[in-house]
Homo-oligomer: A and B are copies of this chain.
C-alpha cells in the first residue's frame, strides 16, 4: 500500500507517512472525506491554518481500468462551510498512484504572501518559490510548467481567482494537451489552495515502478468486460463521444427542465443555438476536436476542443453545465461568447457553474443587461484584474446576490444549482437538497431515471420514488468516487446487472481482496455518513436540506413546484 504525503505549507517541510489503520483501504472521496472528518475542526475558517487540502487518487487509480483516472480533492469548503469533495480528470491521479502516494495533504498556511510550487517525482518532493507564475492565469502557468518539467507531467494549479481566495475558485488540472480544461470546480477549493499559497503542484511519475497487480489475469478479463460495457451503452458509447455532455441541451430543454433566466422557465427559446448538435457542427467546421478523453485510460471521450470562428483554439472541456450556466441561465445565446466565458473561467480558475449562475444574478440585480454576452465577458474579466467587481462575481451566486440585494438565488448550502430544475427533475432536486456537498448534480444524478430512461423510469415531475432514486444514486456515486472512476460509467452500470460486480472484480484482482458488491455499497454509505457527520459538527441541520423559497414558484412549461417537506427529505439524513 502507498503512503500519505503531508506537506506543511508554513514550514515548507514534508513527510511520508504509512497509511494509518483508520484510512486503510480507502481512496478518492472515501479517503478525503474520512481525513477531513478526522483531522479538520468542523468550525474552523476554511481559509485558516486548520483546514487541510487533500488530493487522493481512487482505489483503481494507476491501474489500466477504463475511466479510473479521476482525482478527488477534499477540504472544508469556503463556499458551503461544509465538507467538500470535487473530482476531476487530468493526469495527476494516475501519476500519484504510480508514485505510491495514497493522498497528498496540504496543511497549515504561510503568514506571508510568498507562493510556492510543489514538485513531486520519484526522487522526492520540493517546494520552490513560484516566482513570476504569481498573478498568472492557468493557461500561462501550465504552459510554463510543461516547458520546465516536460510535456505530460500532471499539473494542478490555481489562477487569479484562487490567489484571491474567492469562493468560486477552482483548482485546474492540465488536460492531455497541457491546457487547464479540467477542473476541481465546485466548492471553492482553489481558495483553500490560494490560502495555503500554493500556486501549482507538478506530479511527474517518470521512472516510477509499475503498480503492483495481485491477479493480473483476472484484472485483464474484468477490465475487458468493463470497457466493452462502456463502449456498448448508447450514452457512454455513442451520445457522449459524439456530442459531449452538451448532448443534454436539447434533451433537458425538451423535458422542460432547462432552467432559463434564473430559473423562471424550463425552456429556452434559443436552445438550438447553444445545443450539442450546434457545437459539434461548429467544432467540425472550424477544425476542433469533438471526441477526447479527459484522462489517460478514458474510453468514453466526452471532452472536446472548441475553436473560434477563425479556427483558432478558444477553449476545451466545454461542458453542458457550463453552456447552460452562461447560456440559458443568463439568456446569452451566442455560443462563442459562452465559450469565451468558459475559457476565462479555466484561465482565472473559476467554477463555471457557480460563476455562470453568479453572472445571471448580476443580471437579475441590474449590474449588466440580461443576455448580453459581451457585458458578461467584460464583467468576468475583472476577476483577472483583481478588481472589486471581480471579487463579487468570483465569490459566487450568493455573494453576488448579497452584493446586489437580489432575493432569487438558486442555491442549496450556499452552492449554486446546476443545469436541471429541481421542480421538473425532482430526482436531482432531492440530490441538490440533501447531498452534503451543497447543490450538486454529480452527487446523485437523478436525471438518469427521470429523463434519460437509464436505470428505470421515475416521473420527474412527481414526488413518488424520487427520494429513493436520489438516495440510491448518492450511495452508488460515493462508491464510484472512491474508486476514482468517472461518474459517467454509472450510465452503463445502472443498465447492466454485471456492472457493479465487474468493478468489484477489478478491485479484488488489483489488491487480492474478496469484496462483494454489498461491501462497495456499504462503503458508499459510510462515505455519506462521514460527510454528514462533519456537516453536523459544522452546524448543519435538516433546515440546510431545504431549497430556497423561490422554488415554491410554479415552473413552466409543466407548472411544477418544489413540494418536498423537510420531514420527507430528512429520510436521507443518514444511511
Contact = CB atoms under 8 A, between A and B. Distances in A.
Contacts of A406: 47
Interface string A224-259: 000000000000000000000000000000000000
Chain A interface residue bracket vs B: 35 or more
Interface stretch (A284-292, A330-338, A389-397): A389-397
Contacts of A392: 388, 391-392, 403
The oligomer's copy count stands at 2
Contacts of A78: 402
Interface in A1-52: 41-48, 50
Contacts of A48: 407, 549
A interface majority secondary structure: loop
Given A50-B549, A539-B544, A549-B45, A195 B407 contact: yes
A261 interface: no
A399 interface: yes
A297 interface: no
A540 B543 CA distance: 9
B405 A47 contact: yes
Given A43-B548, A45-B549, 13 more contacts: A42-B543, A43-B546, A43-B549, A45-B550, A46-B407, A165-B405, A191-B405, A387-B388, A388-B388, A395-B402, A538-B543, A539-B541, A539-B543
Nearest first, the 6 closest Cβ-Cβ pairs linking A and B are A165-B405, A539-B543, A388-B388, A48-B407, A45-B407, A47-B407
Interface of A: 41-48, 50, 78, 164-167, 191, 194-195, 387-389, 391-392, 395, 399, 402-407, 409, 537-541, 543-544, 546, 548-550
16 contacts: A41-B549, A45-B407, A45-B549, A46-B407, A48-B407, A164-B404, A165-B405, A167-B402, A195-B405, A388-B389, A391-B392, A392-B392, A395-B402, A399-B399, A539-B540, A539-B541
